[in-house]
Amino acid sequence: MEIPYTVTARPDTGLWNAKVGIWLFLASEVMLFGGLFSAYVFLRLDADPGAWPHGLLNVPVGTMNTAILIASSVTVVMAWASLKMRKFRAYWWYMLVTILCGVIFLAVKLVYEWPQKFDHFGAFIKKDKLEKYEKYLGNHHLAEKGLAPRTEVSGHLHNKEALHDESVKEYEIAMDPVNADPTNPAMDRPHFLYVPPTDKIATIEKEDVEYANMFLPKHSAYFASYFTITGLHGAHVLGGVIVFTYLWLPVGTKLYKRNPEHLANRVEVAGLFWHFVDLVWIFVFPLFYLL
Amino acid sequence: MMNETDETITGEIAPVPANGHAEHDEHVAHNVAKHIRGYLLVGLTLLTFTGITVGLSYINFGTQKANVAIAMLVATFKAGLVAAIFMHLWSEKRMIYRILMFTAFFVLGLFFLIYLAWYDPITR
Amino acid sequence: MDASSGLATHPHAEHDPHGHDAGHDHHELPFWRKYIISTDHKVIGIQYGISGLIFLFFGFSLMMLMRWQLAYPGQALPLIGNALGNLFGPGSMPDGKMTPEFYNSLGAMHGTIMIFLGIVPIAFAAFGNFVVPLQIGAPDMTFPKINMASYQAFFIGGIVMLTSFFVPGGAAKGGWTSYTPLAVIADKGPTYDPFWNGQTLWLVGFIFLITSSLLGAVNFIATIIQLRAKGMTWMRLPFFVWAQFVTAFLLLLAFPPLESAVVMQLMDRVAGTSFFMPSGLVVNGQALHISGGGSPLLWQHLFWFLGHPEVYVLILPGMGIVAEIIANNTRKPLWGYKSLVFAALVLGFLSFIVWAHHMWLTGMGSVVSAFFQTTTMIISIPSVIILSAFFISLWGGSIRFNVPMLFATAFLPMFGIGGLTGIPLAFNSADLYLHDTYYVIAHFHYIVAPGTIFAVFAGIYFWFPKATGRRMSEFWGKVHFWPSLICMNIIFLPMFLQGMLGMHRRWYDGGQGWTLAGEKVWGLSGFQWNTPISIAAWTMGLAQIPFIINFFWSIKRGQKVNDNPWEATTLEWTAPSPPPHGNFATTPNVYRGPYEYSLPGREADFTMQSEPMTESDRKAYEAAAAAGVH
């Protein structure tokens, strides 16, 4: 038994099977990320004024990762074109670069960006205690300018034991620039560039705190959606890298010798998936890093 | 290049040398080669516009809504380029367009109706 | 999209490296490769079918247990109560008396299992897998390995769901809808494991089930687009294939938003996020230590974005099955084939934009509710078109009332009742009163239980000869059918009454303490109606025994039949019974529509799709066209 149209196109639809398959799969992926993004929109619209943070992510690193992903999209389409032109060596190199780009992207995410967040701390002040910490929040200044108030003091937690130890009554935070110098107009829309916390320490009593946590998914609706969406996106990148590696290994070479068009089709299908992953990132990047 | 009959791109051609052109339709190779410049150009455009988005985010366009709208406009343009050129949607078969039309309708419906539901609670 | 132009099977099988394990060697495969990890669409279909039937009966058994508690609240279940208590652990049925927590588990898992592990796998995956490639003249699904993975993901999901009964605290208790924030705070605390608890496993199981559905849906659509036989144009597809096609699209596009919601709820439970948790939530008098800022309403939107298309996922395959059987047993073409196809497409399309009619009580504004009420009203039109076409098809036919046809005919009024009683629920003013009462239960069960499940039974009796080469017993089929039909109605008709008396669907005591339910209807109070309902439910359980015995007995001992015992017209009946791996000895060519019964000028009253045109056919078609029939 043989299934027709695995490599050649069916005349009336002009498509081979896997192409239909991948586009259907991508359609479902659109709906998957559509669900997540609509959740993001819903939560962001629903957030109290000032509750959606701004400028917490490292823009240069994010920009670099965006560039890496775009570059890999170019190399994967070049890999496919090389196969179509039956230039196997070129294919092999382009594919290698694609895989490396994927790996670098993941490494930057998992080794640098995420751990840096996990190491950061933020404490949301109770509404009736905001006045007490005015010198860190600068809400009078913001109100004059008609901007949304700040409710969070963030930075590096000095006394980490405060997170778990009930007997410790306050948090000692080496503040981020935005809290260290809250009335500076430059902080009205906070820095996009990563700036290390200052050595200015704020002491915040636990009983004044509404909710405090490291920058983990549970820290806020913002980080919840950030980690979930980038996590799921990262899982897709990983999936793509695995498929590319499979096609790049000798298995792919063997298939090329037997039927180069089949390998080209497989690379095209995997490439379509990869472009989609890139496309999702094009929206993730401004939504989380810039806006 | 999927319009060839079964004979021209037959699925089961004899083994070819790993990097040779043997038995392959020159016409296909030529067609693909024509597009390579385009792919590189699109890649460069995407990189440029990534820079532009970052740059634009330093400018305050008055309201947060305007900031979001402009950033999303640039992102949509970039995504459109990826879809049209890299994913070959510029010239794809009708069946694919149909599938994507439905998908686009439903995903926009999802966004729009959830937004509407947020915008119009009974307490308003 | 004319498939008749230059399609050919590929003559290059001898070059194909995989060619040798196809077609002719299915005897050499060891058992585990032939039946356990097979990539053959028919084996996968049967795997889905049998697992689905087992889950269906299991889910029904959960309900039979609940019916005891509803009819005799707080009383110990005789005979098996203690044994069940031991089986499900200390929190379930101490001394044979059901705890409220266990009752909630049973309710949540009944819904989940019936829908996602019972009906969808049988009506969509089993029948779709087995029948669709045969009906379109394909050798298999386009992606056989993905097809296998789909079943395996389903199987793992099912096992995870079943496992959740035996973890500390028992299975999920938040209802099949798992509404937040309840579902996020349920099954948490010192007596629960942080991961191995009912609700978390429900979510994990769901991710597997959704993955399985997606893989299946991609496969179905690609198969129908790509692998139709030569001459099988879109308008020559049997209606069953169309129904499966639309269903697959619904699964493909509606499930992913729920998957994203499930991932978010999993994050809420495992990583402590607040996607669906509002600020300032107080549980048992204690403020929860969470960030808040989430929205419970968001879950409902994403859930019902799947939830409503899911209703049509449940019913469309049933309609497809019924269409085949009605055409076959009335011995005349299905009335209004084209309108049926377009109605199914419109149904699928509209089903995506009606979902919020499940949420009238969440406080939507007038704009939103006007929108959703309008679309909900409109969607009843294609449903009515489909049902009317079936009824008109019966008109003037010399109907053969064999067992498949009995079930198919019963489907029509049952589905009709279910559909019509849904109309009051579509208006938010009426729904304010009926929401979450037994009326809702009765309404959707009429569609799914005597609706889809009867269609499923009809399909099993109808295609059983194709799968085994033997026919199931007609006599025992009737013994199965009549009690099932009567019991179904005794179960669900009184629920309309109970609902209108205001009885809430999730009460643990069956409404014993509800004074308004003391009002008597036909001599029984709302609460007292529970007893006849429960007795009918248990009787219906007994009525399935003839089916189970008939099913297994007929596999080996049933009456042997030829390849086309029902004298049907579609392509699956041209293949041998059971069809070998690869299905057809030579790929069939298709020359005509799917329901050419009683074609004038033909000796037999059925003309297969693969029979070439004759001169008399041409005349018959011309005459019909002149009379405006086609």
Q: pLDDT digits over C273-323, tens only? A: 999 999 889 988 988 889 988 999 999 999 999 999 999 999 999 999 999
* SS3 readout for A200-233: CEEEEEHHHEEEEEECCHHHCHHHHHHHHHHHHH
Of the candidates A24, A70, A84, which has its C-beta nearest B47's C-beta? A70
Span A249-263, pLDDT tens digits: 999 999 999 999 999
- No. of helices (H) and no. of strands (E), chain C: 20, 6
Cα diameter, chain A: 78
Q: In this structure, what token pair is assigned to residue A146?
A: 């008609």
Q: So what's the pLDDT on residue A66?
A: 96
Minimum Cα–Cα distance from B13: chain C residue: C15
* For residue B6, pLDDT beyond 60: no
CA distance, residue A243 to nearest chain C CA (Å): 15
Distance, CA of A271 to CA of B124 (rounded, Å): 48
Q: How many domains does chain B have?
A: 2
B97 shares a domain with B84: no
Same domain as B100, residue B44 = no
Please give the share of chain A, as a percent, with pLDDT higher than 90: 74
Q: What is the mean pLDDT of the segment spanning C148-152?
A: 96
CB atoms within 10 A of CB A107: 11
pLDDT (0 to 100) of residue A177: 87
Of A3, A228, A258, the CB nearest to C140: A3
| CB within 8 Å: C9 and A4 | yes
Examine the pLDDT at C64 and tell me if it is beyond 70.
yes
Percent of chain A with pLDDT over 70: 100
Tell me whether residue B7 is in a domain: yes
Residues 6+ apart with CB under 8 A from C256: A28, A29, A30, A31, A32, A34, A35, C210, C214
pLDDT digit string (tens) for A80-102? 999 999 999 999 999 999 999 99
B 5-34 near A (Cβ less than 8 A): 5-6, 9-13, 15-16, 18-22, 24, 28-29, 32-33
Residue whose C-alpha is closest to residue C331's, from C597, C98, C9 = C597
Residues C211-223: what's their mean pLDDT? 97
Tell me, what's the pLDDT at C114?
96
Q: Give the CA angle between residues B34, B36, B37 to the nearest 5°.
A: 90
Instruction: For residue C437, give both structure tokens.
Output: 């009462």
So what's the pLDDT on residue C629? Answer: 67
- Predicted pLDDT of residue C363: 84
Contact (CB<8Å) C7/A46: no
Helix axes of A59-84 and A260-284: crossing angle, nearest 10 degrees: 160
- C72 in B contact zone (CB under 8 Å): no
Q: Are residues B29 and B84 in the same domain?
A: yes
Closest partner CB to C353 (pick from B99, B102, B113): B113
Does B121 lie in the same domain as B77?
Answer: no
Which whole number is the average pLDDT over B3-25?
Answer: 38
pLDDT band at residue A160, thresholds of 50, 70 and 90? confident
Which residues, numbered 363 to 382 in chain C, qualify as contacts with chain A under a Cβ-Cβ cut-off of 8 Å? none
C-alpha distance from A79 to closest chain C C-alpha (Å): 25
Contact yes or no for A31 and B53 at CB 8 A:
no
Name the minimum distance, in Å, from the CA of B19 to any CA of chain C.
22
Asked whether the predicted pLDDT for residue C630 surpasses 70, the reply is no
pLDDT for the residue numbered C518: 65
Residues B51 and B97 in one domain: no
Residue B8 pLDDT greater than 70, yes or no: no
The reply to whether B117 falls in a domain is yes
Is B17 contained in some domain?
no
SS3 state of residue B122: coil
B82 and B119 share one domain: no
Tell me how far CA of residue C508 lies from CA of C71, C88, C104, C528, in angstroms. 10, 18, 8, 15
Do B118 and B65 share a structural domain?
no
From residue C349, how far is each of A21, B109, C406, C549 by CA, in Å?
21, 11, 31, 41
Q: What is the largest CA-CA distance in chain C?
A: 84
What pLDDT is recorded for position B25?
60
Contact: A35, C259; criterion CB under 8 Å: yes
What average pLDDT score do residues A190-202 get?
Answer: 80
User: CB–CB of B12 and A38 under 8 A?
Assistant: no
Q: How much of chain C exceeds pLDDT 70, in percent?
A: 95
pLDDT of residue C9: 38
Verify that B81 and B118 share a domain, yes or no. Answer: no
Beta bridge pairs of residue A156: A174
CB-neighbour burial class of residue A21 (10 A; exposed 0-12, middle 13-18, buried 19+): buried
Mean pLDDT of all residues in C562-584: 94
Please give the pLDDT value at position A56: 86
Phi, psi of C317 (to 5 degrees): -60, -35
Question: DSSP letters of A107-174?
Answer: HIIIIIIHHHHHT-EEEEEPGGGGGGGHHHH-HHHHHHHTPPPP-EEEEEES-GGGGT-TT--EEEEE
CB of B42 less than 8 A from some CB of A: yes
Whole-angstrom Cα distance, residue C557 to residue C555? 6
3-state helix, strand, coil in chain B (%, to 5): 70, 0, 30
**Statement to judge: residues B87 and B105 lie in one domain:** no
d(CA A75, CA A139): 49
What are the residues whose beta carbons fall under 8 Å from the beta carbon of C277, sequence distance 6 or more? C180, C181, C184, C268, C288, C290, C292, C294, C296
- C-alpha to C-alpha distance for A83 and C432, rounded to whole angstroms: 63
B45 and B79 assigned to the same domain: yes
Residues with Cβ < 8 Å from C213, sequence gap 6 or more?
C120, C124, C150, C251, C255
**Geometric angle at alpha carbon C64, from C59 and C70, rounded to 5°:** 125
Out of B86, B93, B106, name the one closest to residue A73 (CB): B86
Helices C144-163 and C41-71, packing angle to 10 deg: 20
Q: Would residue B31 count as lying in a domain?
A: yes
Report whether C97 contacts C74 (CB < 8 A): yes
| Percent share of chain B, pLDDT over 70 | 77
Q: Which residues contact C124 (CB under 8 A, 6 or more apart)?
A: C213, C216, C244, C247, C248, C251, C313, C317
pLDDT tens, residue by residue, C153-187? 999 999 999 999 999 999 999 999 999 999 999 99
Tokens at C6, concatenated: 């230059």
Residue bearing the bigger pLDDT, C28 or C330 = C330
| Choice between B62 and C77, residue whose per-residue pLDDT is larger | C77
The chains in contact with chain B, meaning 3 or more Cβ pairs closer than 8 Å, are: A, C
In this structure, the answer to whether residues B50 and B38 fall within a common structural domain is: yes
Tell me: pLDDT of C377 over 50. yes
The reply to whether B56 and B37 lie within a common domain is yes
CATH of A31-42+52-118+220-290, one of 3.40.50.300, 1.10.150.130, 3.40.190.10, 1.20.120.80: 1.20.120.80
Q: Where does chain A hold its CATH 1.20.120.80 domain(s)?
A: 31-42+52-118+220-290
- Which range of residues forms the domain containing residue B74? 1-12+23-91
Which residues of B fall below an 8 Å CB-CB distance to C?
Answer: 6, 10-12, 95, 99, 102-103, 106, 109-110, 113-114, 116-117, 120-124
- C residues 250-289 lying closer than 8 A (beta carbon) to A: 252-261, 263-264, 267, 271-275, 279, 289
Q: Answer for the pair C596, C333: CB distance below 8 angstroms, yes or no.
A: yes
Residue with tokens 């935005």: A178
In a domain, B4, yes or no: yes
Instruction: Please give the structure tokens belonging to residue C219.
Output: 């496969």
| Residue A147 reports pLDDT greater than 50 | yes
Q: Round to whole Å and give the CA distance between B53 and B48.
A: 9
Q: Do residue A6 and residue B3 have CB atoms under 8 angstroms apart? A: no
Nearest C-alpha in A relative to B51 = A63
